[in-house]
Structure 1
Amino acid sequence: MLYGMYELQKAWLSSASAGASVVSEWLGNPRNPLGYTGFGPAVSSALEVFSHAAAPRGKPAFGIDSVTCNGKDYEVVESDVLHRPFGNLKRFSHAGLPKDAPHLLIVAPMSGHYATLLRGTVERMVENAVVYISDWADAKLVPMSEGKFDLDDYIDYVIEFLEHIGPGAHLMAVCQPSVPAFAATAIMAANKHPCRPVTLTMMGGPIDTREAPTEVNDMATGRPMAWFKQNLIQTVPLHYPGAGRRVYPGFLQLAGFMSMNLGNHMMSHYAMFKHLVVGDGESAEATKIFYDEYLAVCDMTAEFYLQTVNAVFKEYLLPRGLLTHRGETIDLGAITDTAILCIEGERDDISGVGQTKAALTLTPNLPDAMKRYHLAPKVGHYGIFNGSKWRATIAPIVEGWMAGHARGRLQAVA
């Protein structure tokens, strides 16, 4: 019922957005005398803000056309190299990369937003590496005939993606996938898998959410699992390919994201309104670009979401040594030769400081020389993997870590 009501609201807002856009353009037309009155620019700007906020959004494009490397611009080639029902493996490269350039798999979060949320991460890393990323599917578009997708399947996908890339690859997990990426690394290490990652970088990940719990953690621990099942899980409507699938809808996830920082979002839109009134289109466009990505959300399967809430945020199974994969307990002590880099933001309000760092104490058989921790000062959750501080300060640390630990494994698997 809730999903159906949302669809009706979306249809109404889509029409209202289109109407507001038309009136805004009419008021802003230089030939319209009302545009030169006191209220003309203000009304036009207000309607433009509403039109943008209410517009329907689909899956954004990565849109990484070129990068600058060693002072030269190179065209970036984007391709899907592996197709799977619940997510494809994308590859980014350019002609300026040397033959021995590192291969990096970035595991994107399956937490409401598309993998394009990491556009800035990919764009920076592809300067010096062949970059792959998990491009997760919108669950409402996956037919029921494709079966389920849970935490075990997520781990299997990470392992399969690493197998496709081959020996010597590096692995990076941003936020939520830190847990399954860490688990996949341990499973591959225990099996002496030749494609186990050379390095594992975890950024703002909820490895042990008992450390510095945030509002996100408090929400998970403060409600029983029955509440999540009854209030957040919905059935995909009939007009989608995944009709009948039980999901945690993207629109509910977005409502949760927005409510955490509602005041900031309102001020951002008010600032956009003021920029438009005075004709500062460049500043307004920057806000629009951010919200084009932020407001584009997708559904995740109910089984994956509920398992993650229970295993990661309620039972802390991984740090307690109790997380299983296909019935087998995951042994983090099996990791002995994958160098681990943990990165956290000092102002992270989603994964508290210490939650990712916990991974370093959970790998007792990994030499200290193959462990590193970096706390990014004055950086929030999104600033860890996007923005100027990511590009100038954090990315070079990741690149240096990859370069410093690549040679030994490459020789070992040769």
Structure 2
Amino acid sequence: MPIGEFGRPPELPTETAPGMTAPMYWMYEMAYASLSPARAMSDATRMILQNPLNPFAQTDLAKQITAGCELFERTTRRYGKPEWGLHDTEVNGVRTPVEVRSVWEKPFCRLLYFDRKHPRPLRAPQPRVLIVAPMSGHYATLLRGTVEAFLPTHEVYITDWSDARQVPLAAGRFDLDDYIDYVIEMFHVLGGNVHVLAVCQPAVPVLAAVSVMEAENDPYVPTSMTLMGGPIDTRKNPTAVNDLAAEKGIDWFRNNVITKVPFPHPGVMRDVYPGFLQLNGFISMNLDRHMDAHKKLFENLVKGDGDLVDKHREFYDEYLAVMDLTADYYLQTVETVFIKHALPNGEMLHRGKLVDPSKIVNVALMTVEGEKDDISGLGQTEATHTLCTSIPDDRRVHYVQPGVGHYGVFNGSRFKSEIVPRICDFHASATHARRKAAAAE
């Protein structure tokens, strides 16, 4: 179940005996496999009825059967990882090709770089930004719009987290401490002079990573840190999904939502919080809306409204693509962030050492929240400023975007027109301040 990120949990028993969830994934796989013949029959029926040589292809009955076949196929399909689809962008008024390539890789994450192939040299280097994507069920492509908005003005990098069911057990474990280590290592790979932007869930590990680096006088700390809609202190304006963690306790999560990856996936026997449970939570949060959307899909398929059908396919191909999370990471995050509130209580540890945001001195701070965010309530991200007491006032910014919910904080028209320009200005001022401080030394 999504906690503090995208929704509420699926309906599950109040208590489950330890180990009873182990066969859950196997049952899911068997159910999926059992539908394969029906999907094959549905596809064959649709192909026959859509064949232009079929004299019945344009009849109302054929169109309804064809629409029903597609609806059945889409609601029983397993959606794979979406493509980025960002082939070009506009830089200084010039259309520029974009190549996506990996510049660093470990078992549970790749660091992707959106390499803009400039046809002519830039007048001045553009700032670099590392976007840390949520590791909360969806793939990093959920931030396609976020990346697209920064490409014209920034050198963009993003974390591409791995699906835990695709990582062999021999690769070892992955928990919140490892997440923080990964972020620190990425800063080292990029070699400093970079801005970091954490979207939603990564706000806590990114703040922890920067705190650890500052405490150790690490020269590769980022120039600035922007935290967007993140659960820094979920005691402030708690939402329904925040209350769930406090109500259930960590043992409930361990006994009810953790299962083992089945054969033939590469991660067989790894303990995970499975993507299909996460998807159940996504859907159940707004069940009526999703049912209406699929009803309209059926109607538009019958009418032949290609534009609306394509929009539905594009949205749900992304929305329904989910990945598994390692049990270690999921449980440690739930307990640390949503049950113990360890970071705002001054009790969060990384590798046995206290995480102290007051050690942050050199990194400028910006927090962004959505006025109507029902996942990370107003004030939860702003709480960062209370923790980072050593950052000068002239190097910190807080902004609340009117009229947007959780997704509007990092995607959509208002994000592009109102939030992105503010972040760009913040990056420019942070870079100037860092250079000024370096010159003074």
CA distance in 2, matches of 1:394, 1:276: 36
CA distance in 2, matches of 1:14, 1:153: 38
- 1:305 aligned to 2:327? no
Which among 286, 294, 316 is matched to residue 269 of structure 1?
A: 294
* 22-31 vs 376-385, which moves further: 22-31
CA distance in 1, matches of 2:429, 2:383: 22
Once the two structures are TM-superposed, the CA of residue 178 in structure 1 deviates from its matched residue by: 0.5
Q: Which residue of structure 2 lines up, in the alignment, with residue 206 of structure 1?
A: 231
Q: Which residue of structure 1 lines up, in the alignment, with residue 14 of structure 2?
A: none
* 43-52 vs 317-326, which moves further: 43-52
Once the two structures are TM-superposed, the CA of residue 65 in structure 1 deviates from its matched residue by: 0.5
Task: Structure 1: state its 5+ residue gaps.
Answer: none
- 1:141 aligned to 2:147? no
Which among 98, 101, 120 is matched to residue 145 of structure 2?
A: 120
Specify whether residues 16 and 380 from structure 1 end up closer, same or farther in structure 2 by C-alpha distance, changes over 3 A only: farther
CA contact (8 A) 1:67 1:75 kept: yes
CA distance in 2, matches of 1:236, 1:112: 15
CA distance in 1, matches of 2:263, 2:66: 38
Q: Which residue of structure 2 lines up, in the alignment, with residue 399 of structure 1?
A: 424
CA distance in 1, matches of 2:199, 2:392: 24
CA distance in 2, matches of 1:17, 1:383: 36
* 271-280 vs 403-412, which moves further: 403-412
Once the two structures are TM-superposed, the CA of residue 148 in structure 1 deviates from its matched residue by: 0.9
Once the two structures are TM-superposed, the CA of residue 51 in structure 1 deviates from its matched residue by: 1.7
* 122-131 vs 15-24, which moves further: 15-24
CA distance in 2, matches of 1:26, 1:317: 59
CA RMSD of aligned residues (A): 1.7
Specify whether residues 355 and 238 from structure 1 end up closer, same or farther in structure 2 by C-alpha distance, changes over 3 A only: same
Aligned to 2:376, the other structure's residue is in SS state coil
Specify whether residues 400 and 284 from structure 1 end up closer, same or farther in structure 2 by C-alpha distance, changes over 3 A only: same
**Alignment size in residue pairs:** 414
* 402-411 vs 181-190, which moves further: 402-411
Which among 21, 25, 34 is matched to residue 12 of structure 1?
A: 34
Paired amino acid for 1:53: T
Aligned to 1:276, the other structure's residue is in SS state helix
Equivalent residue runs for 1:11-410 within 5 Å = 11-96=33-118, 100-410=125-435
CA contact (8 A) 1:18 1:55 kept: no
Aligned to 1:171, the other structure's residue is in SS state strand
Once the two structures are TM-superposed, the CA of residue 411 in structure 1 deviates from its matched residue by: 5.7
CA contact (8 A) 1:173 1:202 kept: yes
Aligned to 1:344, the other structure's residue is in SS state strand
Specify whether residues 261 and 98 from structure 1 end up closer, same or farther in structure 2 by C-alpha distance, changes over 3 A only: farther
CA distance in 2, matches of 1:259, 1:98: 51
Aligned to 2:106, the other structure's residue is in SS state coil
- Any idea what the Cα deviations from partners look like across 1:377-405, whole Å, max 9, x if unmatched? 22121122122222222111111111111
Specify whether residues 15 and 385 from structure 1 end up closer, same or farther in structure 2 by C-alpha distance, changes over 3 A only: farther
Specify whether residues 330 and 24 from structure 1 end up closer, same or farther in structure 2 by C-alpha distance, changes over 3 A only: same
Identical amino acids, percent of aligned pairs:
47
Once the two structures are TM-superposed, the CA of residue 335 in structure 1 deviates from its matched residue by: 1.1
- Any idea what the Cα deviations from partners look like across 1:337-376, whole Å, max 9, x if unmatched? 2111111112222111111111112111111221111111
Aligned to 1:133, the other structure's residue is in SS state strand
CA contact (8 A) 1:167 1:410 kept: no
Task: Structure 2: state its 5+ residue gaps.
Answer: 1-22
Specify whether residues 32 and 182 from structure 1 end up closer, same or farther in structure 2 by C-alpha distance, changes over 3 A only: same
Aligned to 1:222, the other structure's residue is in SS state helix
Specify whether residues 98 and 260 from structure 1 end up closer, same or farther in structure 2 by C-alpha distance, changes over 3 A only: farther
Specify whether residues 315 and 24 from structure 1 end up closer, same or farther in structure 2 by C-alpha distance, changes over 3 A only: same
- Any idea what the Cα deviations from partners look like across 1:215-253, whole Å, max 9, x if unmatched? 211221111211111110001113222122111111111
* 24-33 vs 389-398, which moves further: 24-33
Aligned to 2:426, the other structure's residue is in SS state helix
Once the two structures are TM-superposed, the CA of residue 257 in structure 1 deviates from its matched residue by: 1.3
CA contact (8 A) 1:93 1:129 kept: no
Paired amino acid for 1:307: Q
CA contact (8 A) 1:106 1:173 kept: yes
CA contact (8 A) 1:90 1:135 kept: yes
Once the two structures are TM-superposed, the CA of residue 412 in structure 1 deviates from its matched residue by: 5.0
Paired amino acid for 2:147: V
